[in-house]
Amino acid sequence: MEQEDKRAVHKCFGSAVVGPRGQLVIPVEARRELGIGVGTKLLAFNLPQGEGLLFVKVEAVEDLITMMSLQVKDFTKLLREAETANIEHAGN
């Protein structure tokens, strides 16, 4: 049985202020809960219409890309099987 993820969706950890050198301080609760420590690399993505930034750990993006790559392989296999079945069906 899979363990349910108990973290809240769209949880607000508080606010951060951009300092004079463009730096942000991530709230401590967010760092603790999300495992963000010194040296953690984050990718910054823009939100639609320039409404803000989304920060994601590099490892999470790598995991997502790996998972998507595997899904693409499975989807390609299913398409090939469907094409073969259609060709065989059309020939009968």
* Backbone torsions φ then ψ of 49, nearest 5 degrees: 55, 25
pTM value? 0.59
What percentage of residues in the chain have a pLDDT greater than 90? Answer: 36
1 has a pLDDT exceeding 80: no
The string of DSSP letters for 23-85 reads -----HHHHHHHT--TT--EEEEEPGGG--EEEEEHHHHHHHHHHHHHHHHHHHHHHHHHHHH
| 5 pLDDT higher than 80 | no
Residue scoring higher pLDDT (4 or 29)? 29
